[in-house]
Structure 1
Amino acid sequence: MSGTYLGMPSFPRAAAASTRDMRLRGNLRHATHTIRAKRAKAVEELGDWEQLRAAGAALKNRTLRHLDHYLEQLEAAVSAAGGHVHWACDAEEANRIVTELVRETGESEVVKVKSMATQETGLNDALAEAGISAYETDLAELIVQLGDDLPSHILVPAIHRNRDQIRDIFREKMGSWGRAAPRNLSDDPAELAEAARLHLREKFLNAKVGVSGANFMVAESGTLVVVESEGNGRMCLTLPETLISVVGIEKIVPTWQDLEVFLQTLPRSSTAERMNPYTSTWTGTTDEDGPSAFHLVLLDNGRTDALADTVGRQALRCIRCSACLNVCPVYERAGGHAYGSAYPGPIGAILTPQLRGVQSELDASLPYASSLCGACYEVCPVAIDIPEVLVHLRERVVEGGTVTVRGQKTTIKPAKGHAAERAVMRAARWTFDHPRALRAGQRLAARSRRLTPRRLPLPGAGKAWSDSRDLPRPAPESFRDWWLRNRGPDTAGHEGDPE
Structure 2
Amino acid sequence: MTAAAQPAFKDRAKAALADPTLKLAIDRTTGNAERKRAAALAAFPEFESARARGKAIKDHVVAHLDHYLEMFERNAIASGAQVHWAADDAEARAIVTRICLAADAKLVTRSKSMLGEEIGLPHALADAGIERVETDLAEHIIQLAGEPPSHIIWPAMHRTREQVAELFKAGHHPPPAAEDPATMVQSARIQLRAKFLNADVGISGANFLVADTGATCTVTNEGNAELTTTPPRIHIVTAGIEKIVPSTAHAFALLRLLVRSATGGEMTQYTTFHCGPKRPGDADGPEEMHIVLVDNGRTRMLANEFREMLRCIRCGACMNHCVVYRQIGGHAYGGTYPGPMGSVLTPVLDGLAASRDLPNACTMNGRCAEVCPVGIPLPTLLRGWRRRSWREGLEPSSLRAGIGIWAQFARRPRLYRLASRIGVRVMRLFGKGGWISRMPLAGGWTDYRDLPRPPGRTFMEQYRDQQKGRRQ
TM over 0.5: yes
Q: Which structure 2 residues correspond to residues 34-73 of structure 1 after superposition, within 5 A? A: 34-73=32-71
Distance 1:449 1:189, change over 3 A: closer
Q: 2-side partners of 1:195 and 1:476: how far apart?
A: 61
Q: 2-side partners of 1:4 and 1:188: how far apart?
A: 36
209-218 or 65-74, which deviates more: 65-74
Task: Give the corresponding residue for 2:458.
Answer: 475
469-478 or 50-59, which deviates more: 469-478
Task: Give the alignment partner of residue 181 of structure 1, picking from 174, 186, 192.
Answer: 174
Conserved in 2, the CA contact under 8 Å of 1:42 and 1:274?
yes
Does residue 25 of the first structure (1) align with residue 40 of the second (2)?
Answer: no
Conserved in 1, the CA contact under 8 Å of 2:107 and 2:198?
no
Conserved in 2, the CA contact under 8 Å of 1:137 and 1:200?
yes
Following superposition, the deviation at residue 78 of structure 1 comes to 1.4
Task: Give the corresponding residue for 1:308.
Answer: 303
Does residue 207 of the first structure (1) align with residue 199 of the second (2)?
Answer: yes
Does residue 15 of the first structure (1) align with residue 13 of the second (2)?
Answer: yes
Does residue 294 of the first structure (1) align with residue 289 of the second (2)?
Answer: yes
Please state whether the residue corresponding to 1:145 is helix, strand or coil.
Answer: helix
Does residue 154 of the first structure (1) align with residue 149 of the second (2)?
Answer: no
Distance 1:449 1:356, change over 3 A: closer
Task: Give the corresponding residue for 1:422.
Answer: 400
Q: One-letter code of the match for 1:296?
A: I
Task: Give the corresponding residue for 2:109.
Answer: 111
Distance 1:163 1:79, change over 3 A: same
Q: One-letter code of the match for 2:451?
A: R
Task: Give the corresponding residue for 1:218.
Answer: 210
Conserved in 1, the CA contact under 8 Å of 2:108 and 2:132?
yes
Please state whether the residue corresponding to 1:99 is helix, strand or coil.
Answer: helix
Q: One-letter code of the match for 2:376?
A: I
Q: 2-side partners of 1:477 and 1:35: how far apart?
A: 41
Conserved in 2, the CA contact under 8 Å of 1:302 and 1:355?
yes
Q: 1-side partners of 2:439 and 2:265: how far apart?
A: 48
Following superposition, the deviation at residue 429 of structure 1 comes to 6.0
**1:433-465 superposed Cα distances (whole Å, 9 cap, x missing partner):** x6xx3355335644886456768743xxx6423
Q: Which structure 2 residues correspond to residues 383-422 of structure 1 after superposition, within 5 A? A: 383-400=375-392, 414-417=393-396, 419-422=397-400
Task: Give the corresponding residue for 1:352.
Answer: 346
Q: One-letter code of the match for 2:174?
A: A
Conserved in 1, the CA contact under 8 Å of 2:235 and 2:290?
yes
Task: Give the alignment partner of residue 465 of structure 1, picking from 424, 433, 445.
Answer: 445
Q: 2-side partners of 1:449 and 1:384: how far apart?
A: 38
Q: One-letter code of the match for 1:20?
A: A
Q: 2-side partners of 1:384 and 1:477: how far apart?
A: 35
133-142 or 57-66, which deviates more: 57-66
Task: Give the corresponding residue for 2:252.
Answer: 260
Conserved in 1, the CA contact under 8 Å of 2:106 and 2:200?
no
Following superposition, the deviation at residue 306 of structure 1 comes to 2.2
Q: One-letter code of the match for 1:398?
A: W
Please state whether the residue corresponding to 2:156 is helix, strand or coil.
Answer: coil
Distance 1:220 1:427, change over 3 A: farther
Distance 1:474 1:187, change over 3 A: same
Q: 2-side partners of 1:478 and 1:24: how far apart?
A: 43
Please state whether the residue corresponding to 1:359 is helix, strand or coil.
Answer: helix
Q: 1-side partners of 2:62 and 2:235: how far apart?
A: 27
Conserved in 1, the CA contact under 8 Å of 2:210 and 2:216?
yes
Q: One-letter code of the match for 1:199?
A: Q
Conserved in 1, the CA contact under 8 Å of 2:209 and 2:244?
yes
Following superposition, the deviation at residue 62 of structure 1 comes to 1.6
Conserved in 1, the CA contact under 8 Å of 2:324 and 2:362?
yes
Following superposition, the deviation at residue 260 of structure 1 comes to 2.6
Does residue 276 of the first structure (1) align with residue 268 of the second (2)?
Answer: yes
Runs of 5+ unmatched residues, structure 1: 175-179, 401-413, 489-499
Q: 1-side partners of 2:468 and 2:416: how far apart?
A: 18
CA root-mean-square deviation: 2.7
Conserved in 2, the CA contact under 8 Å of 1:449 and 1:476?
no
Conserved in 2, the CA contact under 8 Å of 1:447 and 1:476?
no
Conserved in 2, the CA contact under 8 Å of 1:141 and 1:151?
yes
TM-score (norm 2): 0.89
Distance 1:171 1:449, change over 3 A: closer
Following superposition, the deviation at residue 353 of structure 1 comes to 1.4
Please state whether the residue corresponding to 1:296 is helix, strand or coil.
Answer: strand
Task: Give the corresponding residue for 1:337.
Answer: 331
Q: Which structure 2 residues correspond to residues 139-150 of structure 1 after superposition, within 5 A? A: 139-150=137-148
Task: Give the corresponding residue for 1:406.
Answer: none
Task: Give the corresponding residue for 2:224.
Answer: 232
Q: One-letter code of the match for 2:347?
A: P
Following superposition, the deviation at residue 14 of structure 1 comes to 0.3
Conserved in 1, the CA contact under 8 Å of 2:21 and 2:160?
no
Q: 1-side partners of 2:313 and 2:218: how far apart?
A: 12
Q: One-letter code of the match for 2:47?
A: W
Following superposition, the deviation at residue 142 of structure 1 comes to 0.4
Distance 1:415 1:193, change over 3 A: same
Q: 2-side partners of 1:481 and 1:357: how far apart?
A: 48
Q: 2-side partners of 1:200 and 1:6: how far apart?
A: 35
Following superposition, the deviation at residue 141 of structure 1 comes to 0.2
Q: One-letter code of the match for 2:132?
A: A
Task: Give the alignment partner of residue 441 of structure 1, picking from 416, 424, 427.
Answer: 416
TM-score (norm 1): 0.85
**1:324-383 superposed Cα distances (whole Å, 9 cap, x missing partner):** 2222222122111101112111211111112222111xx111112322222212211111
Q: 1-side partners of 2:319 and 2:459: how far apart?
A: 41
Please state whether the residue corresponding to 1:60 is helix, strand or coil.
Answer: helix
Conserved in 2, the CA contact under 8 Å of 1:52 and 1:261?
yes
Runs of 5+ unmatched residues, structure 2: 431-437
Please state whether the residue corresponding to 1:107 is helix, strand or coil.
Answer: coil
Conserved in 1, the CA contact under 8 Å of 2:34 and 2:321?
yes
Conserved in 2, the CA contact under 8 Å of 1:249 and 1:299?
yes
* Matched pairs, number: 457
Task: Give the corresponding residue for 2:434.
Answer: none
Conserved in 2, the CA contact under 8 Å of 1:374 and 1:387?
yes
